Structure 1
Amino acid sequence: MTELGKATIIIGLFSLLSKISGLARDAIFSHEFGTNKVLDAYFAAFRIPDFLFNLLIAGTVTVAFIPIFSEYFHKDKKEAWQLASNILNATVLAMAGLAFLALIFSVPLMKLLAPGFSGETYELTLKFTRILLFSPIFLAGSAITGSVLNSLKKFALVSAVPVVYNLSIIGGVLLLYPKLGPIGLAWGVVGGTLLYFLLPLPQLFRSGFRYFLSLDYRQAGFMKFWQLYWPRIFTMGTGQISLIIATFFGSYLSEGSLSAFYYANNLQSVFLSVFAISASIAVFPTLSDLYNQKDEQRFRDVLAKTTVQVLYFLVPLSVAMLVLRAQIVRLLLGIGEGTNFSFQDTKIVSLTLGIFVVSLFAQGLVPLFTRAFYARHNTKIPVVTSLISLVVNIILAYYLVSQYGIAGMAMSFSFTVILQLLMLLVELHRKIGSLHDEYLILSSIKIAISSVIAGLAIYVSLYLVAPLVDMQTYVGVFVQALGSGFIGGLCFLGASLALGLEESRHLTTMVKSFMVKISRPLLMIINIWE
């Protein structure tokens, strides 16, 4: 297996663990609160801290930092550590200053962000926001240290830390909420972000990192970093503004609408992170190196191969989630006796989830194609496509939310992310020529056909399994969903193998190899026992 393949698997596995812990977090939230004003306030309060971090740091710093740091690291390690220290110090100080300003102006900002909130919901949102403003400061530091480790191709610990973050939030619900009330939820988040920053530090220093207490703005790499950084803000900013738009419109809708939107978004992001974002993160250093080496052929090869791999997982999963959306929501969010998550909540969240997953393939490919442009030091195209998508999203959301409620917000989101993907794909062809189009189109058709067959198999299986179990119980719904999903998975694998899809052959080979490896020690134990 290639180093890129290993990196993708490592990041994917830890992303899966992170998302499982995130699902456990949401399950606990839904059991304790359902969809109510406490969670509406909680989710809305994240918008300002998340906007600061995601706009100025997440993704922005990574795509600007890694190509430059990698270039310096191969030439002069001391210069590379000085560059990393300069950027670390600058970003943490800048984030602390912005968080302080947001704290001072939290009242007018919150009135602008969620004008539909009033009374207890508004006051609670304000309290949450003021506490959560500590979190982007710690996350800013962790973004730089994590980018250094990713540049050194040490992905495991950085990918594992989000699990601890989610466990800290769960601790806030189970331990702090009973003692401190709703505010305990916010302190659980802050504790998680502190751990996010602290845990990777030992590995960072073991990797040779030297910290310099400096802010050398004249360093050439520092200036080059900012040249790549500023355009990326517009790209990331549009994504965050889309969530702010959802919060803005959601604040005018009925209680629980905003919670339903974020529940659905969190559910569909599970597979997005595991199979798409992880691949984008893993492939980015490789694409940067290939561009620096002027190896255009390998650049196209790697990008095309990664594109098909992302589609191979996301398309069938989106079909399965579309068919099984009600079961998924009920199983993951409606778990436990005495849950506050009602069947009406299930209906709203599953509808929103179904609309989200229609664009899951596009949500997976947009980060990949965006990173392809940034690996080539091209910042203009991602910015322009993001701004166009944002404008379309605002216009569509204004109309669709008034017609369809929070589901209209999901419709607007899905349409605009597909639009952005198409624009990026057109521009990629203009910049690098053919992206092995015949291979991409043929593979996509095979994946689509196999996914439709799998979806039909799941749909039929639901009705075949339902009479055999008690659908009024959790176990009955679980057996129905698991059995139908398993049959659908087998049908997808069988159809894709019959169509000659290369990824399915690789997958079956990996599974066989894994089974052989785990069977050997078992056979040894059996022989010893005998």
Structure 2
Amino acid sequence: MTKEAGRGHALLVGAGILCSRLFGLVRQRVFSHYFGLSDAADIFSAALRVPNFLQNLFGEGVLSASFIPVYARLLAQHKQEEADRLAGAIAAALALIIAVIVALGVLATPYLLWAIAPGYTGEKRELTILIVRILFPGTGILVWSAWCLGILNSHHKFFLSYVAPVVWNLSMILTMLFFRHRDADRLIVYLAWGTVLGCLLQFLVQLGPVLKLVPGMRLKLDLHSLHVRQVGGSFLGVAIGRGVVQISAFIDQAIATLLGSGAIAGMTTASSINLLPVSLFGMAISASELPTLSRMAGDEWSADVATKLSARLNHGLERIAFFIVPSSMAFFALGNVVVAALYQSGAFTRKDSYYVWAILAGSGVGLLASTFGRLYASTYYAMRDTRTPLRFAIVRLVFTVALGLASALLLPRALDIPLQWGAVGLTASAGVAGWIEFHLLRRKLNKRIGATGVSVAMMVKLWSAAGLAVLVACMVEHYLPLYGPIVTAIFVLSTYGMVYFGVTYLMRIKVCVEVLGKMMRRIGIGG
């Protein structure tokens, strides 16, 4: 697999993710318009996170890390029949596991909520329980979507699996628009059912193409198969690692429920923006590289394999850094422009925009570490090592909890500011913990495959270019007449992007030259 092909696959993943994230931003804008940062917004945001634990524990990241390396190797060895049997066995196992866990989750929702949202009481708690119970089955269906993604990605069919969430977002958007005249509490109940319908549609749009790729598949649980045991062994390790990460997220959520009305909704709104660059660049590159890294790692280890893995990883890290550095800088300096343009409407006020900007700036602390960490984790998974990422995920959890408690609950009191602002400390402290995890992942991998990472010189150039671009963009914002949030964002952010690309091109940053060269060729300029 050439680097050019890898870039093409990353482009397909990125295009699919971009479509789904854009619709996700539209969905969040409609949601913010009707709910703002109200109690109803808190309820739905918290409720959606509870069953999402199931999706994250058994879904995309875990299945990709455990299933794709084994399945992709069988395809590379032209063992289609064995690959089909493996796909069917994993599908059967997921059906059994998901059915049991969804049933238990629906029954145990009241007990889960005591741990997840201890700050919710009375009617707010009861309505959250109802929403969680409605959402649980739908989230189980999303795990099947993740299985589809594993099949499609292994066959280098990247676009469909990542664009499929568009129908999920559309279902939620149309539900809110159709029932918009209902009161807020009733509207979120309808929205929960619309979410479940969207989960089903997201799975169904992928199912047809998947069945064509696995013509010999049978839904038969085969625990004696060597390949199934290999997936199962990796699955358990990765699931535990993802579980640790999810526990960290739930602890943050539990703390946020103690910070007052609007904290959960504010963090969810900021997350919808924060996840855009993570998904477009971190997930896109990591997802497209995993099948290739798995084939490169093979079954026999050698110095040549280590060298190839190191070169492939470094190339991916450079591409990630080129896009994530300006994203982080924008979150810090231009977050108010971004948030206002996306969400300032209806019940979502200017004051809400500044609050979400602060949370978004906090999340920018660990943005680069989290995206780098995804690609490092993919490299470990390609090498069939799930224990190392698990150990370091536990370390991250410890630091996230300790720093999160101090930043969210103690620091606001020490500074004599409203407790609600502790949400900023939560996102920033999670970022610090992310840097610790990234450092540990990199140090351990460097001992196995040689030096990895982006050079200091390149990082200095990227941050300098982003800093210069943000200064120019801030000047434009300062002197620009009051045209409204959306028009302001168009002028400010386009200036920021053009200056960043212009400066990095003059610096001859390789990724920038490649990207601009490809864009020019597409519009008929250059050879």
Distance 2:209 2:338 in 1: 38
Letter paired with 1:495: V
Aligned to 1:449: 464
Q: How far does residue 485 in structure 1 lie from its aligned partner after superposition?
A: 2.2
Q: How far does residue 238 in structure 1 lie from its aligned partner after superposition?
A: 2.3
Aligned to 2:446: 429
Aligned to 2:6: 4
Letter paired with 1:323: A
Distance 2:122 2:70 in 1: 49
Distance 1:249 1:312 in 2: 34
Distance 1:317 1:117 in 2: 34
Question: 144-153 or 49-58, which moves further after superposition?
Answer: 49-58
Which SS does the other structure have where 1:105 is aligned? helix
Cα deviations across residues 482-524 of structure 1 (Å, max 9, x unaligned)?
222222222222222222211121122112101117x99xxxx
Which SS does the other structure have where 2:157 is aligned? coil
Alignment of 1:327 with 2:326, yes or no, is no
Distance 2:273 2:143 in 1: 26
Question: 219-228 or 358-367, which moves further after superposition?
Answer: 358-367
Letter paired with 2:385: N
Aligned to 2:133: 130
CA contact (8 A) 1:290 1:296 kept: no
Q: How far does residue 122 in structure 1 lie from its aligned partner after superposition?
A: 0.6
Which SS does the other structure have where 2:523 is aligned? helix
Aligned to 1:120: 123
CA contact (8 A) 2:93 2:221 kept: yes
CA contact (8 A) 1:95 1:136 kept: no
Any gaps of 5 or more consecutive residues in structure 2?
Answer: 413-421
Q: What are the within-5 Å matches in structure 2 for residues 98-497 of structure 1? A: 98-176=101-179, 178=181, 181-292=187-298, 294=301, 295-335=305-345, 339-402=346-409, 403-404=411-412, 405-435=422-452, 440-465=455-480, 469-470=481-482, 475-497=483-505
Q: How far does residue 6 in structure 1 lie from its aligned partner after superposition?
A: 1.0
Cα deviations across residues 141-197 of structure 1 (Å, max 9, x unaligned)?
221122011100011111110111111111221225656632111111101110121
CA contact (8 A) 1:238 1:386 kept: yes
Q: How far does residue 75 in structure 1 lie from its aligned partner after superposition?
A: 4.1
Which SS does the other structure have where 2:222 is aligned? coil
Q: How far does residue 102 in structure 1 lie from its aligned partner after superposition?
A: 1.2
Aligned to 2:52: 50
Q: How far does residue 227 in structure 1 lie from its aligned partner after superposition?
A: 1.1
Which SS does the other structure have where 1:200 is aligned? helix
Aligned to 1:31: 33
Letter paired with 1:263: T
Aligned to 2:418: none
Aligned to 1:89: 92
Q: How far does residue 199 in structure 1 lie from its aligned partner after superposition?
A: 0.8
Cα deviations across residues 61-107 of structure 1 (Å, max 9, x unaligned)?
11100111122233421111111111111012101101101111111
Which SS does the other structure have where 1:174 is aligned? helix
Question: 200-209 or 228-237, which moves further after superposition?
Answer: 200-209
CA contact (8 A) 2:252 2:426 kept: yes
Q: How far does residue 215 in structure 1 lie from its aligned partner after superposition?
A: 0.9
Distance 2:98 2:408 in 1: 33
Distance 1:256 1:445 in 2: 38
CA contact (8 A) 1:63 1:375 kept: yes
Question: 444-453 or 475-484, which moves further after superposition?
Answer: 475-484
Letter paired with 1:304: N
Distance 2:429 2:57 in 1: 21
Aligned to 2:417: none
CA contact (8 A) 1:326 1:347 kept: yes
Name the Cα RMSD after superposition: 1.8
Aligned to 2:522: 514
CA contact (8 A) 1:177 1:183 kept: no
Pairs aligned (count) = 507
CA contact (8 A) 1:18 1:163 kept: yes
CA contact (8 A) 2:73 2:294 kept: no
Distance 1:165 1:488 in 2: 32
Any gaps of 5 or more consecutive residues in structure 1?
Answer: 521-530
Which SS does the other structure have where 1:479 is aligned? helix
CA contact (8 A) 1:234 1:387 kept: no
CA contact (8 A) 2:102 2:136 kept: yes
Question: 300-309 or 102-111, which moves further after superposition?
Answer: 102-111
CA contact (8 A) 1:81 1:210 kept: yes
